[in-house]
Amino acid sequence: MLHSRAWRLDPAPVLIADRVARHRDPAHAAAPAEPFPAYVATPVDSGPAPATARGRVRFTDRRGLSHAFIKIAPGTSLYATGEVAGPLNRNGKVTVCWNTDAFDYTDASRSLYQSHPFVLGVRRDGSAFGVIAQTTRWCRIDLRRGILFSTRGYSPPIAIIERESPDQVVRALADLTGHAPMPPRWALGYQQCRWTYEPRDRVLEIARGFREHSIPCDVIWLDIDAMDGFRCFTFDREKFPDPAGMMSELAGMGFHAVCMIDPGIKADPHYFVYAQGSTHGPHAAPRFVRTPGGDEYRGAVWPGPCAFPDFTSHRVRKWWAGLYGDWLATGIDGVWNDMNEPAIFDGPGKTMPVGCVHDADADLGGPGSHARYHNIYGMQMVRATREGIQAAQPGLRPFVLTRSNFLGGQRYAATWTGDNRSDWKHLRWAIPMALNLGLSGQPFAGPDIGGFVGNATPELFGRFMGIGALLPFARGHSIKGSADHEPWSFGPECEAVCRLALQRRYRLLPYLYTVFDESHRTGLPVVRPVFFADPTDPSLRGIEHAFLVGSDLLALASVHESTRETGPSPLPGWREFEIVGGGGSEPPISASRAHDQLPRLFLRPGAIIPIAKSAAHAGELDMRSLTLLAAPRKDGSAEGSVYHDDGLTLAYLRGDHEHAHYQAPPDPSGQTRIERRLDTTSRPSAIRAVNAFAVLPDGSITRVTRSGEA
């Protein structure tokens, strides 16, 4: 904590939502607060905060920075702060919100690709609070002696969310910053990427490899080398002479295609995107970011000198969105926005100078410097991209993946954890990174499976796949020049582990999709820290080799090279089970994991989850032949639900979906009988369970009866 006698208190904090108090530095209260695009709508003051909120935030200015300090009680655990490498618990850590091209980052890297000025605090008694610094500018979050936000050029309001538990705080955060939309179901399948798959024949060879090796996969990705000289919205016609034909062949094998679009536009007057963006005339407004002198700013990226669209302007976003139509018409299904911090090879700090000028919309704050808009540059890019996909493919769910984003950006795109390394440290960080992103409002995230930089060993790749196949976003990716990183590239044992890991994911897709629906509706993360099961238990606060998928499934992984042992379950009483392995194409439910490189799976007592038959891709998912897996309580009771919709369109927003609710009522004899009790659908059900099993307290598996199915 700063040693200053000049701390100031807001004498009258106000409520901006239910039990959310906003505090302002009284020395700056006369100046209007800057807009905060993390919020889905501008909060409206709803009266004074309760007396207990007063004095919680102390403000001061020192050494050219504005500071806001929140004292925490002993025993308080701190989390979130967005995309951060290292441990799950952030007590004692410093994070700097300044989006950075952090290639091959370490746990000493204070700035990564995204900025989430949010801290989750969990008190000793399990009650919780969240703290938001309402600024898009450079912001340091120092958690060494409490919570200290330090900013340049602006003293932002501080919002504090008060709730009884951490899950309630995350729900409230989503209500403020927006709920992630439902993704297309295929985006929940496994995805294969490399920098770079080329030419056409190699792309199709990879796709056929998955089918020939009987390894499930839904998506093939194309990196920058698919472009003509790194020009976005183009194809290299020598390597890919018929892009539409290639996309059609992929679709015929059950694959979707995702391709890259970067923000750097090659400064070539003969290139149509640059020519449109640099149009000058008496009525033409600039579409590219400018220097302080009014000239077009240029920085070096893959194509050489580039201009950069000013995504803070609605005019530019509309223009950018319009570029997607013809490009997507070749059969592209999703968009990958990369390098959008923005990353600039010859710029200060590998980015744009802070003095560059944006012609921002009034609701973002109006014209201003890059110092103000740097952290939301990527967010506004994916906003434009999403709008472009929606315009080009009306009625379909867009899929956008972004490297750079900001708090609230879950409204527009999924994310991954950037350019990680093929080593055991990065394997250990994969779980806490996904968890802290989820606690920061971004539920759809995961690492590059296998590690992007370097060469994985068979053991490391198998462990990466086992964990990654249970995280929300599951994509393998590797750098140019590295060894092949396809699942069959590491020998027969690793291939078998990868096949089992992905068969697990696909058998669990009905449950995972149901959890995504819960996340969309409530704002809860898809994967959650183990302490969500009992926030009052201090022994669960630092666990980062295990995680919850939804509220009913626990994954317990081995993350050290020296051993495949996981140690005991942190949640006694949860029932271990396995759904892959053994003989036959659809093995029965068993009580022990199929391979000791895979995480162990446990089911919450009282839960019922749906399991599908294994499939080559999500399009083959059969919702008419589900298996229900229950972990009945001692009295035989359990409950669960299954969510289903068409998996592709926006019809779910109009109520075109169904929830099938299953319940095993208490039975005096302790027997379990699963009944279908309630459907929320107005059409014939597409859900049908044909089998049901129970995992009993003694670890045995037994078939149980069902009733109420059509």
Please list the active-site residues: 338, 341, 419
Using DSSP, state whether 470 is helix, strand or coil: coil
Q: Compute the distance between CA of residue 80 and CA of residue 73 in angstroms, rounded to an integer.
A: 18
Q: Provide the token pair at 68.
A: 């806001």
CB neighbours of 572 closer than 8 A, spacing ≥ 6?
none
Under DSSP, the state recorded for 567 is -
Q: Provide the token pair at 221.
A: 């990705």
Q: Give the rounded distance of the alpha carbon of 646 from its chain centre.
A: 22
CB neighbours of 67 closer than 8 A, spacing ≥ 6?
2, 59, 60, 61, 148, 149, 150, 151
Q: Provide the token pair at 43.
A: 């909060």
Q: Compute the distance between CA of residue 155 and CA of residue 235 in angstroms, rounded to an integer.
A: 46
The 3-class secondary structure across 188-216, one letter per residue, is HCCEECCCCCCCHHHHHHHHHHHHHCCCC
- Adjacency order of strands within the sheet including 334-337: 414-415, 400-402, 334-337, 256-261, 219-222, 191-192, 475-476, 448-449
What is the helix (H) or strand (E) element at residue 96, kind and residue range? strand 94-97
| Contact of 619 with 256, CB cutoff 8 Å | no
Q: Compute the distance between CA of residue 573 and CA of residue 134 in angstroms, rounded to an integer.
A: 42
Nearest to 158 by CA among 52, 50, 70: 70
| Contact of 656 with 395, CB cutoff 8 Å | no
Nearest to 386 by CA among 343, 341, 334: 334
Q: How far is CA 480 from CA 196, 503, 555, in A?
A: 6, 28, 32
Q: What share of the chain is helix, strand, coil (3-state, %, to 5)?
A: 25, 25, 50
Nearest to 317 by CA among 405, 268, 267, 377: 377
| Contact of 199 with 240, CB cutoff 8 Å | yes
Under DSSP, the state recorded for 45 is -
Q: Compute the distance between CA of residue 84 and CA of residue 114 in angstroms, rounded to an integer.
A: 9
Nearest to 661 by CA among 583, 608, 587, 588: 608
For tokens 């990716």, the residue is 477
Phi, psi of 307 (to 5 degrees): -105, 160
Strand partners, 301: 304
Q: Compute the distance between CA of residue 13 and CA of residue 291 in angstroms, rounded to an integer.
A: 39
- How many residues are there in the chain? 710
Using DSSP, state whether 285 is helix, strand or coil: coil
E-only strand ranges, 339-447: 357-358, 368-369, 400-402, 405-406, 414-415
CA atoms within 13 A on the CB side of 127: 7
Q: Compute the distance between CA of residue 96 and CA of residue 148 in angstroms, rounded to an integer.
A: 11
